[in-house]
Chains A and B, each alone.
Chain A
Amino acid sequence: MNAGDLMHYAVLLLYLTGSGGHICGMLTRKERPRLLGGVLTGLGFALQAVSLGMMLADGHALASGEFYISLLSWCLLLVLFILWIRLKLSFLALIATPLAMIMLMGSRGATASNVQLPEALSGLFFGLHIGALFCSIGLLAMASAAGLGYLMLERRIKTKEKLKGAWAAMPSLDSLDRANRTSVSVGFPLYTLGLISGFIWAGFTWHRFFSWDPKEIVAVFIWLLFAFLFHQRIALGWRGRKPAKLAIVVFALCLASILIINFLLKTHHSFA
């Protein structure tokens, strides 16, 4: 086992104990285990940043799928920490930390990629493409996590069921809705930016902006849905259940497109 492996497992362990902390905090309705979970996750987050840096310094990182999936899980946690501090919603960590852990575990499955390395000129757009898209997927994950929490709690309040134990520890409907709103209104511009920079990069690298790659078609479709959600939310004042459901659908599509297209289909986006 080399240093990279050791780090990988250490990060996984930190995320696992961090998730445990959040679950305990939820069940016992105490703040301390959650904070502890947050600190452990934060340590893992820092360690993962180091590990990502090392992979990048190694030189082969940009051609390996492992790097991208690991980066995606790191972006998810980055988004989580920002939302946690901005909105004081430790609830999101309950979903984000295990999700990041699973992504990181899966990253080992993605070994080689056939992405052509970016030429010097287009490095900026490639970085922008990956960074913006991954952050927006992280935000989308948080929007749908908040949406899921909202839908479950809303149903219980609406049907007048008792709010005992972990239910009583959940944040209020209003703050879950606000988390969804923030994530969507930041996530959509980022997604757009990621998409456009991808096309520009493709234009520089392959001399055509759109190549009818399945990933690209799905991405445009997701963008349309995301745009609809963004518009309804910001302009028409959608609140509560509808945007929560739509955010979950959009995120599920994103996840499916990563799992199916990037791993199973042979395209220039595939990881395996």
Chain B
Amino acid sequence: MQHDIHLFGLNHRTAGVEVRECFALNDQERFEQCAQALGSAVNEVLVLSTCNRVELLVVSPRGEDVTGKVLSCWAGTSAKTADDLRPHVYQRSNLEAVEHLFSVAAGLDSMVLGEPQILGQLKQAYKAAVERGQARVVVNRLLHKSFSVAKRVRTETGIGSSAVSISYAAVELAKRIFGDMSDKRAMLIGAGEMAELAATHLVGAGVRSISVANRTFERAEELASRFKGKPLAFAELFSKLPDVDIVISSTGSQEPIIRARDIKGVLKKRKNRPMFFIDIAVPRDIDPDVNSLDNIYLYDIDDLKEVVEGNKAQRQMEAEKAREIIHSETHKFGQWLTSLDLQPTIVDLLGRGETLARKELKKTLRRLGPDCPDEVRAAVETMALTLARKLYHEPVCFLKRRTREEGGGEKFLDITRRMFNLDEETVPDDAHMDRNNGLEED
């Protein structure tokens, strides 16, 4: 291995919000400044900065101590010094750094376990590094791997399969009741923040329309316009209920607004089509006895919280499986990293040639039959092996020459390994499409 991979970071666990604010690299200028400064000090850099974490991935020549450089660069973007920063920062090296990056990409290190947002942010960070020319062989490979590891974790474990936010859990439940949401209408009673969040999820699930009833009509109008919905005066509420399938209530009322006796008439008008009431207000807006009616389902905030807690526990269990996947992928990456050197590459290249030659030789000898004299056999064997060696002679000379140059020529080593598929990977046909459409997909 010619490189050391270092990862420096701080996240919601190691640093309080005031520290994260101070050392965040999220505004464009500071970000560029830090990346540029680091870029001139080391070989490859990737900077990931979100509201919960900053991660600096640095690839440096082997054995060089970069900790001081990185920390002073980083601290230089704020008014603080490296010593202020040092106690909050964790540092990982080589395979530990790789493992950490894989965990971050898969959402295992996130505040909400398994949340997918971080992957998009990591892709952004990688894109920025590529544009600045600070991502070369190792970072390229490492990031592409971490995207595919994250994808593997997502498909092979159930870490992202259940809702862990209250509003999302409510929408998931609605899907269990109604199935197809495209012909369902929703109504928000009260226009608070929670209602807005739930409405966002409902729109995401594809409901047909959203109406908003609120005591102050202006607020209803404002919220409704955001979801292309219809504002309602509070007095119209009951007359509109028969058309509505999903009701989300979040008013500040001290008394219940909706009771079972109000709903009986509504149900008759709806011909018993089911209704789902979600009551996220405290104190509750909807009398619990509504749930005793047939074809009516009522969940209040505590019920939803319970669902969410259960799902969180399940995610913890799935996270164990994810860690195993990450561990084995880290091991594989380590193997690749070791092989990215002149000697192992030459050995692999010649070995591959010999394997191919022997395979073909076996076929030819069988075709020559048992009567073929031994000297002919020996001659054919010599020819096959020599041909294989000679074919790879020029590439080997080229690699030797390039690795003596500045920069170690690992770019060519990497290309050679990929061109002759020395790592025996299966590469899908569309693997390099991302180069054409700006890294949108991995």
Q: Report which A residues bind B (CB closer than 8 A).
A: 153, 157-158, 160, 162-164, 168, 170-175, 237-242
- Known contacts A157-B173, A174-B177, A174-B179; A240/B291 CB under 8 A: no
> A202: shortest Cβ distance to chain B, in Å?
40
Residues of B within 8 A of A160 (CB): 299, 303, 306-307
Q: Which of B306-332 contact A (CB under 8 A)?
A: 306-307, 310, 314
**In the complex the two chains form, is A164's CB within 8 Å of B314's CB?**
yes
Residues of A within 8 A of B310 (CB): 162, 164
Q: Tell which of A158, A163, A238, A242 touches B297, judged by Cβ atoms closer than 8 Å.
A: A158
- Known contacts A158-B297, A241-B294; A172/B177 CB under 8 A: yes
**In the complex the two chains form, is A162's CB within 8 Å of B307's CB?**
yes
Residues of A within 8 A of B297 (CB): 157-158
A13 to B169 Cα, complex, angstroms: 42
> A229: shortest Cβ distance to chain B, in Å?
15
**In the complex the two chains form, is A173's CB within 8 Å of B314's CB?**
no
Q: Which stretch (B5-13, B271-279, B354-362) binds chain A?
A: B271-279
Interface flag for B175 (CB, 8 Å): yes
**In the complex the two chains form, is A239's CB within 8 Å of B307's CB?**
no
Residues of A within 8 A of B177 (CB): 157, 172-174
Q: Which residue of B lies closest to A156 (CB)?
A: B176
Q: Which residue of A lies closest to B180 (CB)?
A: A174
Residues of B within 8 A of A163 (CB): 176
**In the complex the two chains form, is B173's CB within 8 Å of A238's CB?**
no
Q: Which residue of A lies closest to B297 (CB)?
A: A157
Interface flag for B31 (CB, 8 Å): no
**In the complex the two chains form, is A240's CB within 8 Å of B175's CB?**
no
**In the complex the two chains form, is B179's CB within 8 Å of A157's CB?**
no
Interface flag for B295 (CB, 8 Å): yes
**In the complex the two chains form, is A239's CB within 8 Å of B272's CB?**
yes
**In the complex the two chains form, is B175's CB within 8 Å of A172's CB?**
yes
**In the complex the two chains form, is A237's CB within 8 Å of B271's CB?**
yes
- Known contacts A172-B175, A173-B177, A174-B179; A158/B274 CB under 8 A: no
Q: Which of B177-200 contact A (CB under 8 A)?
A: 177-180
Residues of A within 8 A of B180 (CB): 172, 174-175
A237 to B306 Cα, complex, angstroms: 34
20 A-B pairs with CB atoms under 8 Å apart are A157-B173, A157-B297, A158-B291, A160-B299, A160-B306, A164-B310, A171-B179, A172-B176, A172-B180, A173-B178, A173-B274, A174-B178, A174-B180, A175-B179, A237-B272, A239-B271, A239-B272, A240-B295, A241-B294, A241-B295
Residues of B within 8 A of A172 (CB): 175-180
Q: Which residue of A lies closest to B177 (CB)?
A: A173
> A90: shortest Cβ distance to chain B, in Å?
13
Q: A160-B307, A164-B314 are in contact. List 20 more A-B contacts (CB 8 A).
A: A157-B176, A157-B177, A158-B291, A162-B310, A171-B179, A172-B175, A172-B176, A172-B178, A172-B179, A173-B178, A173-B179, A174-B180, A174-B274, A175-B179, A175-B180, A237-B272, A238-B272, A239-B273, A240-B274, A241-B295
Mask: chain B, 252-280; 1 = CB below 8 Å from A; 0 = not: 00000000000000000001111000000
Mask: chain B, 162-176; 1 = CB below 8 Å from A; 0 = not: 000000000001011
A174 to B295 Cα, complex, angstroms: 10
Q: Which of B88-121 contact A (CB under 8 A)?
A: none
Residues of A within 8 A of B271 (CB): 237, 239
> B49: shortest Cβ distance to chain A, in Å?
37
